[in-house]
Amino acid sequence: MQRKLDIICHAFPAWKGNYTKSTVELMKELAVNNRVLYVDYAYTLKDIILKKGKSENMSVKQMFGFKNPCQEVFLKNGASLHVLTLPPIIPTNWINNQKIYHFLQSINGLLIKSRILKFKKRLGMKQPILINAFNPTLGNYLIKGLNQKANIYYCYDNISAANWASKHGESAEERFMKKAEAVVFSSEALYNSKIGFTNKAYVINNGVDLSVFENLESTKANELKFDEINIAYIGSIDDRIDYQLMVKTITHFKNWKFHFIGRIMTSDHETLNQFNNVIFYGALEAEKLPALLKKCHAGIIPFLKNEFTRNIYPMKANEYLAMGLPVIMTDFAEIKDLKSTVSVCDLKNFIPTLEKEVISDTPEKRLIRESVAQKNSWKNKAKEFEQILSFYA
């Protein structure tokens, strides 16, 4: 099969990992019809020294070219793509002096560009479309020189709130968006907050991997069991969560079990660890989540309402829906496409809304939720993305 487009994705997210990343999911689906080179996360010399090359996501031999840095990855959707490991770069995020920062970043840019050019040629990519996925601090040094047809920026988060980019990220992003032919945002809130920095912008909300989360059992259920009520939270355990709200909720529902599944990124979770009806699992591969969610009666997104969370389109919402679960979230952000399916409430009404949605759930309601999630598959999101890319091919 002849591929339609040549796509190079200069990604901030690492290809490997035990949590779902929108960039990775989109590239997997785009690889079905297009030739994709995924340029992996750029590790620094500091990363190598601190982790001593033992991270499962970090291959020092590939970084230095002792082992082929460009590996073909075969996907479960029948497609394949190439993942390119970059040479180690100089750590620069700590630098305050702008002249020194830009000088060292220009060196990093040359290192990265040299490796991309080498394997771009090897793969026969002549005039690819370059997608920069939330990596503008390095992207500004690759805006030219790869013979790309267009530069597309994929913005899936508020960079001003990212610790790694606190010094230089926001200004770098503004510069990159002004140079790029188009910007794709993952939420309406991001679009509205940054539309002034770009000539052309689009919104593609996060999706769901139906091959993992599609629930085939709930459609056959005649009744829902309430012998033991289980509530799920999937996602990073970090400073987005309203821990005071969760303490109140867990205390109120003493006979319910609350399951927290995801990377633990803050010690704040200890406030919940004291309760007997709370279980923390840590990060799990996506394939392991459905078995846990099948036992649950609702999925929650108890985020704080602030400037950071208002830009989020939570990936977990569609994952819960794909399993047929009621979704209860605080009113931290407006999610237009799920407005009629997800229960959004303020802090005062979170507990009563959760109770109401659990008790009033039916197999019919679960079928409706599943059908909504099916429309939001990553396959469909990638089709939207591909249509945008075709304008610039």
pLDDT value for 12? 97
| Contact in structure between 161 and 308 (CB atoms under 8 Å) | yes
Tokens of 344: 């959004």
Q: Is 94 exposed, middle or buried (0-12, 13-18, 19+ CB in 10 A)?
A: exposed
Three-state DSSP state, 284: coil
Which amino acid belongs to residue 367?
A: L
Stated as kind and residue range, the H or E segment containing 140 is: none
pLDDT value for 54? 54
Three-state DSSP state, 171: helix
Tokens of 147: 């013979």
Domain ranges of the chain: 6-207+377-390, 210-375
Class of CATH domain 6-207+377-390:
alpha beta
Could you say which DSSP state residue 339 is in? T
Tokens of 83: 């993942």
pLDDT value for 221? 45
pLDDT value for 216? 57
What are 144-182's pLDDT values in tens digits?
Answer: 999 999 999 999 999 988 877 888 999 999 999 999 999
Residues contacting 2, CB < 8 A, separation 6+: none
251-279 b/e (C-beta count within 10 Å ≥ 16 → b): eebeebbbbbbbebeeeebeebeeeebbe
Angle between helices 22-30 and 378-390 (to 10 degrees): 70
Residues contacting 345, CB < 8 A, separation 6+: 328, 329, 330, 331, 353
Angle between helices 243-252 and 347-359 (to 10 degrees): 40
| Contact in structure between 158 and 190 (CB atoms under 8 Å) | yes
Stated as kind and residue range, the H or E segment containing 203 is: strand 201-203
pTM over 0.85: yes
pLDDT value for 354? 98
Nearest to 184 by CA among 156, 209, 206, 160: 156
Tokens of 371: 């059908």
Q: Do domains 6-207+377-390 and 210-375 have the same CATH topology?
A: yes
CATH number, span 210-375: 3.40.50.2000
| Contact in structure between 346 and 389 (CB atoms under 8 Å) | no
| Contact in structure between 341 and 371 (CB atoms under 8 Å) | no
Pairing state between β 35-39 and 70-74: unpaired
d(CA 244, CA 277): 16
Based on C-alpha coordinates, what's the Rg of the chain? 22
What are 242-291's pLDDT values in tens digits?
Answer: 999 999 999 999 999 999 999 999 999 999 999 999 999 999 988 899 99
Positions of the chain with pLDDT lower than 50, given as ranges: 1, 53, 218-223
